[in-house]
Amino acid sequence: MTSALRSASCPRALVAAPPLLVIVAAACQSSSADRGAAPTAPDDARSLWTRHYDLDRTEPSLKLSPHRATYFTGHYSDQPNPASNPSPQFDLEHGELEFQCSIKTRLPLGLERRDGVPDLWFGYTQEGHWQVGQPSGPFRETNYEPEGFFLWPVREWGKWGPVALKALGVGVSHQSNGRGRPQSRSWNRVVGQVAVEFGDATTMLLRPWWRIPESVVNDENPDIDEFMGDGDLALEHSFQWLGFDLSAGALVRNNLDSHANRGAIEAWFAGPFLHPRLNWFLKGFSGYGETLIDYDHRQQTIAFGVILRDW
């Protein structure tokens, strides 16, 4: 499962992949609001989702920022997937190194940035699982996910006491592992986004999705929906304990099928470590689809390492 927790003030995923021509054309122009952007407000005056997706539109376009989590961990699985073994002549190791890098940027549309006009974002996430214990240390699995999405900031009408609907989005995601058959896995989705805040310390992201159909000849994983489900729900909470700034979160995914119920849950904790932008990071996973090659494989995993925050 591509971990999508917030990188500090950086919430879970949003999704879609615009055509290359749109990106090139958009990069050739900038909006009048970009050229005359207001000074950035102090971070402590901006809410969690506002900082992550610049909902108050104080940052320039084409600025790289965190998307999902960027981390490096040691990773252990109780039941590694034999189908994912990159070197079948050797035993698959239970332990491996895992990393994820994720960035995003807002594209300039050349439109006035006002209420009712969405922002167009492009994101890229890459996740790797490295069998360092095998001879030559091959990568067991690498997942690539370019995505693009339109995001509409929500203003005053989205508030109900401490609960605030901050943004709505829709886009397209492509995810694949770049391998040849029979180990090739890929899918394309239309993904919705509902971003909510509960007070000053808790965020929620609901992502329903619809898989874009493929031809029988080209479909490498026709039953992926049965295991990966129709969406996910992520929660994150920041808090203090013994004077330390900590955060915890969870993500749940399910196919909502009462007869053949499948899904996954991921939970994580993070806290300060050595540098203000570096945290220790502990996460656990149980279920199907931790990576694409494992979409139909059930396992329990635990990982511990470091995560980059607020970069």
Distance separating alpha carbons of residues 106 and 59, to the nearest angstrom: 9
Set 47, 174, 237, 286: catalytic member:
174
**Is 176 part of the annotated catalytic residue set?**
yes
State both tokens at 184. 């090739």
Set 47, 87, 176, 184: catalytic member:
176
Question: Where along the chain do its domains lie?
Answer: 20-308
Per-residue tens of pLDDT for the chain, all 311 residues: 665 565 544 443 333 333 333 333 333 333 334 444 444 445 556 788 999 999 988 899 999 999 999 999 999 999 999 999 888 888 899 999 999 999 999 999 876 666 678 999 999 999 999 999 888 889 999 999 999 999 999 976 778 888 999 999 999 999 999 998 889 999 999 999 999 999 989 999 999 999 999 998 889 999 999 999 999 999 999 999 888 899 999 999 999 998 999 999 999 999 999 888 899 999 999 999 999 999 999 999 999 999 998 77
pLDDT at 136: 86
pLDDT at 35: 40
Instruction: Kindly tell me the sign of the dihedral angle through the C-alpha atoms of 105, 107, 112, 116.
Output: negative
Question: By the 8 A CB rule, do 13 and 33 touch?
Answer: no
State both tokens at 250. 């969870």
CATH number listed for the domain at residues 20-308: 2.40.230.10
pLDDT at 23: 35
State both tokens at 294. 């494992």
**Is 52 part of the annotated catalytic residue set?**
no
State both tokens at 193. 């986004």
Residue type, 41: A
Question: By the 8 A CB rule, do 56 and 47 touch?
Answer: no
Distance of CA 217 to the CA centre of its chain: 29
At 287, which helix (H) or strand (E)?
strand 275-288
pLDDT at 6: 55
pLDDT at 89: 84
